[in-house]
Amino acid sequence: MYHLSLQGSATKSEIYIGSGVFSQTAKRVAETFKPTRIHVVTDSNVAPLYLKKLCAEFPLDITTTVIPAGEDHKNLDTVAGIYADLSEAELTRSDLVIALGGGVVGDITGFAAATYLRGIHLCQIPTTLLAQVDSSVGGKTAVDLPQGKNLVGAFYQPELVMIDTDILQTLPERIFNDGMAEVIKYGFISNPEIIDMISAPDFKSNMERIVYECVRIKRDVVQADEHDTGLRMILNFGHTIGHGAEKVGHFTELSHGQAVAIGMVQAAKLAVKLGEADLVEQITSICQAHNLPTVLPYPMEDVYNALLHDKKRTADSINFILVHPLGKANIHTIELEQLHQLMTAE
Ligand code: GLY
């Protein structure tokens, strides 16, 4: 088992990673908080698998909210339902909310915890690879508006993150591969050893170490730039064109990981056009080895128009993440006109 601490500006996160971590939840909660009440938020996919098991861990009665699974429900109506349940359960600011699930559950529960009573204690128990290596760590919480994804949110650190890598063994292949796109990202932006580890035929037996190496990078980056004004942007490698493609596909045709894989390949192509190292073949082959797509299925012009809504954009430029050399990410401020030209040039 691995342990990391993330010192945020207001809150310290204790992060436990490894096999069997789930069954230590009650012990770690008792070490970290003194709650009288605990409320668990999960979704309709995760509840049948882990909710009873989690509640049985604790000596006190646990109240729960089970939201419908899927990004469609990551909205303010669902948050209002969670607030109502927290109020009915009479949670106070010394009590605890646990997010048990993937990225959607983590984001929405985090946002509810950040705002209910102006902030109550939060523990994240991520149940997908993507949530384990990315969204459960670092304190970004958000919900979607009809106008766009993640438009309302807060930076709010969970004080405890329990990452049980045994959970990964039962994930459907498609969901697992989705998280692998973020794992590949960490390898290229910071630690090429991760690429070596996931290239081994039996890499799934090494997930404890692989997840730890990814979370360690995220911890270091978030600790240096919690509020995403500089270094943290490197975590968006592959995400600029990726988000554009996700948007063109109405957030249904491509999963997030698939879009990020395509976005990383496109970012590598753009780097070559800017005279940087050629990592296209390397990124393409590792993504393909993990059954991730690497070819953009939409016209580049449509993707460019979609990415103009990227949160990282300013009036006439965008912060684009390039990897050069392998294991080092750079934030490149590109004029929109130049980006358009680079994206559409053969
Ligand atoms: N998922 C990117 C970040 O946490 O900044």
What string of DSSP letters covers 10-24? S-EEEEEEETTGGGG
With a CB cutoff of 8 Å and minimum separation 6, the contacts of 186 are 133, 194, 213, 214, 217, 218
SS3 159: coil
> Using 50, 70 and 90 to split pLDDT, how confident is the model at 312?
low
In whole angstroms, give the CA distance from residue 189 to residue 71. 27
What's the rounded Cα separation, in Å, for the pair 199 and 13?
31
The kind and range of the H/E element at 253 are none
pLDDT of 128 strictly over 80: yes
- Using DSSP, state whether 4 is helix, strand or coil: strand
In this structure, which residue's CA is closest to atom 3 in ligand 1? Answer: 235
CA atoms within 13 A on the CB side of 86: 28
Taking the C-alpha atoms of residue 168 and residue 176, their distance in angstroms, rounded to an integer, is 7
Cis amide prior to 325 (ω within 30 degrees): yes
Within 6 A (CB) of ligand 1 lie: 134, 138, 140, 228, 232, 235
Has residue 315 got a pLDDT over 80?
no
pLDDT 10s digits, 166-182:
999 999 999 999 999 99
To test the ligand 1 pocket, which listed residue (13, 130, 157, 228) has its Cβ within 8 A of the most ligand atoms?
Answer: 228
Out of 15, 135, 217, mutate this one to test ligand 1's pocket (max ligand atoms within 8 Å of CB): namely: 135
Cα 56 to averaged position of ligand 1 atoms, centre (Å): 32
Q: Which atom of ligand 1 is nearest to the CA of 235?
A: 2
Q: Shortest CA distance to 261 belongs to which of 233, 214, 294, 290? A: 294
Which ligand 1 atom lies nearest to the CA of residue 228? Answer: 5
Distance from the alpha carbon of residue 137 to the mean position of ligand 1, in angstroms: 8
Q: What is the pLDDT of residue 346?
A: 73
What is the tens place of the pLDDT at every residue in 251-310? 999 999 999 999 999 999 999 999 998 999 999 999 999 999 999 999 999 999 998 876
Among residues 40, 25, 145, the alpha carbon closest in space to that of 85 is found at: 40
Encoded tokens for 279: 């990592």
| Residue of 155, 220, 232 best suited for mutating to test ligand 1, as the one with most atoms within 8 Å of CB | 232
First to last CA, the chain: 48
Instruction: Tell how far the Cα of 148 is from the centroid of ligand 1, in angstroms.
Output: 17
Identity of the amino acid at 133:
V
Helix (H, G, I), strand (E, B) or coil at 319: strand
* Residues 130 and 101 sit within 8 Å (Cβ to Cβ): no
If you average pLDDT over every residue of the chain, what do you get? 96
Give the number of other CB atoms < 10 A from CB of residue 172: 9
Ligand 1 site-directed mutation target among 155, 218, 234, 312, most atoms within 8 Å of CB: 218
CA nearest neighbour of 266 among 297, 230, 231: 297
Whole-number pLDDT of residue 271: 94
- pLDDT tens for residues 186-227? 999 999 999 999 999 999 999 999 999 999 999 999 999 999
Distance 232 CA to ligand 1 centre (A): 7
Atom of ligand 1 nearest to the CA of 233: 5
Q: What is the pTM of this model?
A: 0.96
* Backbone angles phi and psi of 145, in degrees to 5: -115, 165
Question: Over pLDDT 70: what percentage of the chain?
Answer: 99
Tell me which residue has tokens 């010192």: 7
User: What's the gap in Å between 235 CA and the centre of ligand 1?
Assistant: 6
pLDDT at 311: 65
Q: How far apart are CA 72 and CA 44, in angstroms?
A: 13
Q: CA–CA separation, 265 vs 235, rounded Å?
A: 15
Q: Residue 250 corresponds to which tokens in the numbers above?
A: 């109405």
